[in-house]
Amino acid sequence: MVGAMTEDLSRRIVRVVELSDPRLEDYQNLRDRDLARRRGAFIAESEVVLRVLVTRPEHRIRSVLLADSRLDKLADALVQLPPEVPIFVAPQETLDRVVGFHIHRGVLAAVERPEARSPEALLRTLGPGARRVVLLEGLTNHDNVGGIFRNAAAFGADAVLLDHATCDPFYRKAIRVSVAGALIVPFARANDTADLLAALRGADFTVYALSPRPDALDLARLERVPERVALLLGTEGPGLRDTSMAAADATLRIDMAGSFDSLNVATTSGIALHALRTAQMATTDGRG
């Protein structure tokens, strides 16, 4: 069956001959993270991410670039691409020379960057059914941002809101670490945390800040979780700004053994989202 699908795809395959081919411009010099932004695109990487992309029509794929060794295995996904999407194929060595470093997964896609939405517009789109939102303040590590989006997708967060200092969830590494969660969970950005909090207040969300401070309320002792809740997370080390924590409805902590008080922020998001989702589901079941 794979062979038959590959044969059907053969007319759409473009074999890369020239490294300077202008059709490959989106993929050249990938370490320059601003390059894709100027072209209005982002780059997605890995088989897992590509398989998610082809199932989500809200993301418009410009083209795909594959190592030739990956073509047969991905044929079933590639046939789902719109017919106008070119599929560039090259030996691994040629692919590496195009992008400027070794892409050991051998799978890339250039995707149109969607039009940015304000937090208010995103929350309106989600409507009254939204239950959990994550807020990020000052997170500049792509691994952490990708991990948080992975947890947000896993535990049913409806959106992620970002301040201006938080890094781009559509950066190639962030998407890969998120296991495509950044393509699934919608996000919006505002200039400052205060603007994000104002948007949430307007949508009747209760905001919980997460902090290891000893005077914070133990998450496990939270007796009642509101129907609509937002988690506010800050960067590791400095943490949240005092003004941001003061503006939250409450500050929560995750109890740890002994005197240890440090968790990775992505890990923190997973624990907290799981706890809040479980509590909200229990409350809903109790009402029924």
Q: Domain locations in the chain?
A: 2-112, 119-287
Half-sphere exposure of 196 (CA within 13 A, CB side): 29
What whole-number distance in Å separates Cα of residue 76 and Cα of residue 23? 24
Dig out the tokens for 161 from the structure: 């809101």
What is the architecture, at CATH level 2, of domain 119-287? Answer: 3-Layer(aba) Sandwich (3.40)
The predicted-structure confidence for 71-105, as pLDDT tens digits, reads as follows 999 999 999 999 899 999 999 999 999 998 999 88
Architecture of the domain whose range is 2-112: 2-Layer Sandwich (3.30)
Q: What angle is formed at CA 148 by the lines to CA 142 and CA 150, rounded to 5 degrees?
A: 100
Q: Give the single-character DSSP code of 100.
A: T
Q: What is the pLDDT of residue 181?
A: 97
Q: What is the mean pLDDT of residues 230-234?
A: 97
Q: What pLDDT, on the 0 to 100 scale, is given for residue 288? A: 38
Angle at which helices 2-9 and 71-78 cross, to 10°: 70
How far, CA to CA in Å, does 87 sit from each of 37, 75, 186, 214?
21, 11, 27, 55
Instruction: Return the bridge partners of 159, or none.
Output: 133
Answer yes or no: is pLDDT of 35 > 60: no
Higher-scoring residue by pLDDT: 39, 62:
62
